[in-house]
Structure 1
Amino acid sequence: MFSVVLNIVGTLFHFYVAHRLYRIEGIRARVPARGWWPGALLVWFVYLAGVHMGDDATDWRWWPEQFALNWLGIMLVMTLCLLVADFSTGFGLWWRTRAPRLLGIAAIAGVLLGAFAIYQGVRAPVVVEYEVAMKNLPPALDGTVLVMLTDLHLGAQRRAAWMEERVAQINALHPAAVLMVGDQVEDNPIGDPRLAAILRGVQAPRGVWAVTGNHEFYGDAETTVAEFEAGGVRWLRNARVELAPGLVLAGIEDVGRAMHGGASLTTALERVLPASTNEATILLSHTPAAPVIDMAAARGVGLMLSGHTHGGQFWPFNYLVQRRFPHVVGQHAAHGMQLVISRGAGSWGPRMRLWQPGEIVRITLRAKR
């Protein structure tokens, strides 16, 4: 179904852009129609082939699929820019002398925005910092630094070498612990023998902890878990531990499957926190689902960390994400609990981000006075 949607939407974008670009005098004067339209058809066929080939971390088919996804992103930006010009001129019904020039300006804007989106998608994640006042946090732990890392989407686009650069960023932040909040992989285990040694290079005296996201379950989740465990990562799969005296760290399996299957979203949380707690508690939940947020706050969790939303990743999809989740990105107060949602360090689909750069989150805990 997803491929069908991509085919239809991508085809509409592609031929709309091709048609409107060919209205620009500078293009029409230099490229004959007998060259332009066969070229547009060829690129369309390559796009369709890429959509159907699928994503595999070690397979050559990843390249045409990535071309297709990035082409779709570029065509979306181009379509939005060209539509502004077309609506302004009534698709050429008025301002006829200015319409081609406006189309040209819109086309240049679309190319620049597309290039900027690719730049934001491939650049190193930025570091975002929050201070969180936690109830019941022992004064001795005031100033504790945690690094939150989510939505890495390791796979074909990002492999061990990319992760090594992220480890260097993490170590520069001097965290007590590193918390990986799901979607560590795109789908399948990455199968890179260097990954374990790179993960063991994380310098965090209280350890590296992880929970699953929805993408772990799109592939072989157990092998992915084993790959990260080989690097010293400890998984919280509906479990909790004492991270430090007086500070509890809890983690639940991703609730994505329950969301699609109609099951209760809070079953795992009820198992991990069967009653209200008076201990300073941090909950890792990949998806910031409203029922999980509400129950976590009701059971005394002081801080909940989530990812999944990517902050929308690509404008204007952030507006669609806002319709599904009560909070999309950033730090929020939720019924007395602090909630931090990260845009994630990687990206899904096209390696593009528009106005929503990838991020690593540094959190400083503060004891409430």
Structure 2
Amino acid sequence: MIFVLVITAIFALIGGVHWYLWRRLVRDTTTPGSGTRRTGTALAVLLPLLILGAFVVPRTGAPFPLQQLFAWPGYLWLALVLYLTLALLVGEVVRAVWLRVPPRAAVAAEPAEEPEAEASPAPEALAPEGPRDGEGSPSPGPSSAPSRRLFVARSVAVGASAAAAATVGYGTYSVLSGPRVKRVTVPLARLPRAAHGYRIAVVSDIHLGPILGRAHTRRVVEAVNRTSPDLIAIVGDLVDGSVADLGPAAEPLRTLSARHGAYFVTGNHEYFSGVEEWVDHVRELGVHPLRNARVELPGFDLAGVNDISGENHADGPDYARALGDRDPARASVLLAHQPVMIHEAVRHGVGLQLSGHTHGGQLWPGNLIAAAANPTVAGLDRYGDTQLYVTRGAGAWGPPVRVGAPPDVTVVQLASRDA
């Protein structure tokens, strides 16, 4: 019942937003019965179906090419809808102010010497001047020039459309050009001097799927390998789809290079995509899964826990198994997909937790929503004696677009307090 209500609410929201866009972009800017209005109305009906198709088709087990066919236009239109709506809402203010300012001609026509004798102009005086016949009198019929209200509506629509298209275009380029490399130094309690300067390349939320494929994996791998890290940590949400469909897209992970190897923990999306198959496949690619497990590295313990969404699959995080019986005198780093897992990390005396999941909000103002659901959206933070670093992720979920939250690979350099 709850699922039905949620789906109904989503459909209603999509329908309501498109009705608003139709009013401002089609009805207010075209004439009744025109071909432009008919075309715009048809698009207002068809484009929401692309969004629904992008969401629904992958969940029906449809062939992968069909998923790709819906994903690209559906998700890009979804991003455009967001910024078109925001731009048009700003345009409502512009529209209201613009229409309240009297036209120049009307201001100039007001008598300057006798303001008290203001008389209402005749209706014909305010009408736009049409073409004249041979005797100099106005020709009958409506003027060919658009009315002031129509001019304002068209100006706002054009401005909003240009702003939205430019924003989505830049955000798409940000994703498809590959992640940026960030560097952050983190002092870590109990880290020996010999491990001072140890570098961990943190990668999260690559989200291989119908849109981001093998070429994107290659860009991420190249960005990571250029940093020459000591260790690579992939902290979840690697894929959005099955091994059968996305195995070739993940193949470049085989070329990841680090002195102490690459490690992987599950994110929530692995549990939508066949977690057991992906864990096995990642291992075949030379990446070591840490499923509620720990390894001892020179200078510190590296532990990893399953994502909390695994609890619905009898595969949730087990902190006692990952962190129990370890030497508390050694420094510790925990890989955990979601930042909300920090509270358990604090209780288990972890020195540093590395997470992803939030995408930094991905699409502004999504950062405000992410901040309401996560203790830290992006960057380095401290909770008691435990530090938390959250990467914005190297890919994108849904629209291949990022605005205000560019993708990144972060090199976390550990610092010893004894150095």
**Alpha-carbon distance change, 293 to 49 in structure 1, aligned in 2, over 3 angstroms:** closer
Tell me by how many angstroms 1:92 deviates.
8.1
Q: Which residue of 2 aligns with 1:365?
A: 414
1:274 aligns with 2:320: no
Based on CA coordinates, which of the two structures has the bigger radius of gyration?
A: 2
1:325/1:368 CA distance change after superposition, 3 Å: same
Going from structure 1 to structure 2, the CA distance change for 1:193 and 1:347 (only over 3 Å counts) comes to closer
Distance 1:52 1:181, change over 3 A: closer
Residue of structure 2 equivalent to 1:333: 382
The TM-score, its normalising length taken from structure 1, stands at 0.88
Partners of 2:235 and 2:265 within 8 A in 1: yes
Stretches of structure 2 that go unaligned for 5 or more consecutive residues are 102-147
Query: Which SS does the other structure have where 1:54 is aligned?
Result: helix
- Shift of residue 44, structure 1, vs aligned partner: 3.9
Q: Once the two structures are superposed, what CA deviation does each residue of 1:129-151 show, in whole Å capped at 9, x if it has no partner? A: 10011111110111111101111
Q: 1:75 aligns with which of 78, 81, 98?
A: 81
Q: Give me the whole-angstrom Cα distance separating, in 1, the residues matched to 2:361 and 2:336.
A: 18
Match of 1:182 among 236, 239, 246: 236
Which position in structure 2 is the counterpart of 1:163? 217
Q: Which amino acid aligns with 1:19?
A: R
- Residues 167, 300 of structure 1: alpha-carbon distance in 2 compared, 3 angstrom cutoff: same
Q: How far apart in 1 are the matches of 2:259 and 2:63?
A: 32
Asked whether 1:20 is paired with 2:20, we answer no
Segment of structure 1 superposing worse, 123-132 or 92-101: 92-101
CA change 1:77–1:123 in 2 (3 A) is same
Identity %: 30
Check 1:302–1:44 CA distance in 2 against 1; reply closer, same or farther (3 A cut): closer
Aligned length: 362
**Which structure has more helix as a fraction of its residues?**
2
1:345 aligns with 2:394: yes
Q: Deviations over 1:9-48 (max 9, x none)?
A: 22222232222113665x6699542333234333344444
- Relative distance call for 1:285 and 1:48 in structure 2 (3 A) is closer
Gaps of 5+ in 1: none
Do 1:181 and 1:286's aligned partners in 2 also have CA atoms closer than 8 Å? Answer: yes
Q: What corresponds to 1:233 in structure 2?
A: 287
Q: Residue 307 of structure 2: which of 250, 254, 261 is its match? A: 254
CA RMSD, Structure 1 to Structure 2 (Å):
2.9
- In the alignment, which residue of structure 2 is the partner of 1:52? 56
Report the residue type matching 1:285 in the other structure. A
**Contact 2:206/2:396 (8 A) holds in 1:** yes
Give the deviation of 1:201 after TM superposition: 1.6
**Preserved contact between residue 196 and residue 227 of structure 1 (Cα < 8 Å):** no
CA contact (8 A) 1:24 1:103 kept: no
Return closer, same or farther for 1:166/1:86 CA change in 2, 3 Å cut-off: same
Give the residue type in structure 2 aligned to 1:58: F
Distance 1:313 1:110, change over 3 A: same
